[in-house]
Amino acid sequence: MEGFREFHFLRGEGGDYISHTIWESKEAFEGWVGSEAFHKAHARSSETPPDIFSAPAKLGMYDVLLEKII
């Protein structure tokens, strides 16, 4: 998807999951969320572990304050 940079799927020690993506801009992210591709990618599959969606999803957006590329 245009504007997409990185994806990380994390699981915490308490069993919570975080989907972390990095986009070139907020507008690129919003374009993805409004796309048919987004809705297909987020359709629940029989292969999806049921505990991933045990609670409603929460969206958090952050601005990058410091970026270090190694």
| Mean pLDDT value of segment 48-61 | 73
Confidence of residue 62 (pLDDT cuts 50, 70, 90): confident
With a threshold of 0.75, does the pTM exceed it?
Answer: no
- Per-residue pLDDT at 34: 92
* pLDDT computed for residue 19 by the predictor: 85
Q: What is the mean pLDDT of residues 15-35?
A: 90
Q: What does the DSSP assignment read for 1-37?
A: -TTEEEEEEEE-TTS-EEEEEEES-HHHHHHHHTSHH
Judge contact between 64 and 56, C-beta under 8 A. Answer: no
53 neighbors 39 (Cβ within 8 angstroms): no
